[in-house]
Amino acid sequence: NYALHEALRMVLEEGLEARFARHLKNHYALRAGLGALGIQFAVAEEHRLPMLNAVLIPQGVDDAAVRSRLLNEFGIAIGAGLGPMKGKTCRIGLMGETSSPRNVLNFLAALENCLSAQKFSIQAGASIAAANASYL
């Protein structure tokens, strides 16, 4: 009960419309950054949730290795695809207090590092630049 009370207090303090806008702004920055890496979303734009971003795993990328490295080296947890999407997608959460520019940029930098280690062709810093440009 206390946790629910505190969560609702935080929502009221920020304001519901401001909270929605923050989630959407960070979703757009994530989308720009991922797009710069050539990573596509798993669902059409009209069906996306700004808080939970399902993306397609690029051809040749070992998603389990990327998720493991993100967690163990960078402290970032992302979800694997579920059911028929297992091994094809991953889920990137931007929920509540985790939906921040700092977290989006840290994730993109870590993801670039993990993809480069797997010899996935990227332009270093492209995702960060694209995400930052969306914040302007």
| Positive or negative: CA dihedral 63, 51, 27, 69 | negative
- pLDDT tens for 67-126 read 999 999 999 999 999 999 999 999 999 999 899 999 999 999 999 999 999 999 999 999
Task: Give the residue-averaged pLDDT of 55-77.
Answer: 96
Q: How confident is the model at residue 42 (pLDDT cuts 50, 70, 90)?
A: very high
pLDDT averaged over the chain? 95
3-state secondary structure of 88: coil
Phi and psi at residue 10, to the nearest 5°: -65, -40
d(CA 107, CA 74): 9
Share of residues in the chain with pLDDT > 70 (%): 100
Amino acid at 8: L
Q: What is the pLDDT of residue 86?
A: 94
Q: What is the pLDDT of residue 69?
A: 97
Q: Which long-range contacts (CB under 8 A, 24 or more apart) does 38-41 make?
A: 38/122
83-99 per-residue burial string, b: 16 or more CB within 10 A, e: under 16 = eeeeeebbebebeeeeb
